[in-house]
Amino acid sequence: MMDNQTRSRASNNASDQGAEATHINGKLITFSITQLAEEFGLTTRAIRFYEDKGLLKPERQGQTRIYYPRDRARLILIVHGKNVGLALSEIKEILSLYDLSDGCETQNRVAIDKFRRRIDSLEKQRDEIDLQIETLKQSCANLESQLADQIAESELAEKGAGQRKRQKAMAAKMAKINGETAAHVNA
């Protein structure tokens, strides 16, 4: 029974896809999951995930998935959408509008709206990143200046400590000389 359901679904899917399928020299163009994974730099698991989410609907022959040019085109849109940060739900919404009989006008309008919103979001992120970079640069400059002042003060303190040591040593020598002189005078 399961086999009949699978065949029925595959048959329906093939007829849906048949209108979109491309032929070369009379031969139907199809792709395996491995071919698509290699072409798009994805794992077969990722492609199956997109299928589970309803973004792809390959034909099934037993356990084998057969992808048509329409599936490949959808995968291109999925990958591009993911690359620009669209959520899978947004990508699915755009893809679902393809089959409307309005020449893709609705699909294009929805896509443009989502793209413009993503552009706005990215521009805000860029402004925030630019502000963070400027703040960090200014903080680095302030800290470098403060560190240079601390090093200079430390060097002055070391020089001052060295001078005080020399002065004490000189005073001790003078005291010793004075003490020796006094001892000779008293003797």
CB 61 within 8 A of CB 68: no
pLDDT for 88 beyond 80: yes
Domain CATH code at residue 6: 1.10.1660.10
Residue 26 lies in a domain: yes
Residue 101 lies in a domain: no
* pLDDT value of residue 77: 94
Span 16-64, pLDDT tens digits: 444 445 777 778 899 999 999 999 999 999 999 999 999 999 999 999 9
CB 88 within 8 A of CB 114: no
Parent domain of 35: 2-96
Greatest mean pLDDT among 4-13, 121-130, 151-160 lies in: 121-130
Residue 160 lies in a domain: no
The span from the CA of 61 to the CA of 105, in Å, is: 34
